[in-house]
Amino acid sequence: MRYGVILPGGTAVEQLEQAVLAEEAGWDGVFVWEAAYGVDAWGLLSAMAARTERIKLGTMLTPLPWRRPWKVASQVVTLDQLSGGRAILAVGLGAVDTDLPLTGEELDLRTRASMMDEGIDLIRELWAGGLSYHGKHYDYECARDDLTQVGRPVQERIPIWVVGAWPRPKSMRRVLRCDGVLPQYQGEASPEEMRSLRSWLDERGAAPGLDVVAEGETPADDREAAAAEVRPWAEVGATWWLETRWDMPHNSTERMRQIRDRLAAGPPA
């Protein structure tokens, strides 16, 4: 199992220093959220790439139907090049029941799902050097190939993690096309539910390297308790544990102190 942290907020400078601390303390990944307005996720991640050497870097998460896929592809491949192959792209449909900014983007669930499917395909096509894509929602055409020549990933395959609504078959089938799943449970999240999800994926030919992500909060001052919280998830097949601090306010002085303390204590291995 690998261990990452989703930074709860703060200024760009604060989050950059948190990423440096995370690498020093032995964490495996740092993830930042991508809202319509605020600290820009991809500029921030690129700065982190320049200040770190080992940790994976990505969003948690990018609302792909509300972004231009070719722009996202460009941002992620730039991060992958600057970091020496450490980028991860996590995508979802976009949350509509939060207090995040509303900007007039598409809200229909089925439409957003169709847009996300096409967006994933288009991004993969561009990373592979493709010059043409035509779908229901997106059209891309370019006669010159120099842009794709310089815009190639360092990694053979940049991981795309996608939200999977368990146990909805259509949502879970999308997971089989990607490299990782961010489970969204209809009931209570539990290791038992993850075991069922993992079995469903394995029975349908999921790639052996498919990442399955668990998330939650563990204490900074009790390493044994932190490890005990994570262990059941590892036993049922989770490959990543992401430390979260979702409660508001995200950028208070106390919240920034809490996240620094948790980072400095190291992962709940």
Average pLDDT for residues 83-97, to the nearest whole number?
A: 94
Of 2-6, 34-38, 98-102, 116-120, the one with minimum mean pLDDT is 98-102
- The arithmetic mean of pLDDT across residues 155-163, rounded, is 97
Distance of CA 8 to the CA centre of its chain: 14
Does 100 have pLDDT greater than 90? no
Residue 182: partners with Cβ closer than 8 Å, 6 or more residues away: 60, 61, 90, 92, 161, 162, 163, 164, 213
Res 96: pLDDT:
82
DSSP state of 98: S
**Does the pTM of the predicted model rise above 0.85?**
yes
The span from the CA of 50 to the CA of 199, in Å, is: 39
Lowest model confidence (mean pLDDT) among 169-183, 188-202, 239-253, 255-269 = 239-253
| Radius of gyration of the chain from its Cα atoms, rounded to whole angstroms | 18
Mean pLDDT, residues 91-95 taken together: 93
Q: Give the distance from CA 252 to its chain's centroid.
A: 24
Average pLDDT over residues 4-14: 96
pLDDT at 98 over 70: no
Are 62 and 72 contacting, i.e. CB atoms less than 8 angstroms apart? yes
38-52, 119-133, 158-172, 247-261: lowest mean pLDDT where?
A: 247-261
Cα dihedral: 110, 114, 117, 121 (round 10) = -170
Give pLDDT, residue 180.
98
Q: How far apart are CA 31 and CA 87, in angstroms?
A: 10
* pLDDT for the residue numbered 70: 97
Do residues 61 and 34 touch, judged by C-beta distance below 8 A? yes
Asked whether the predicted pLDDT for residue 248 surpasses 80, the reply is no
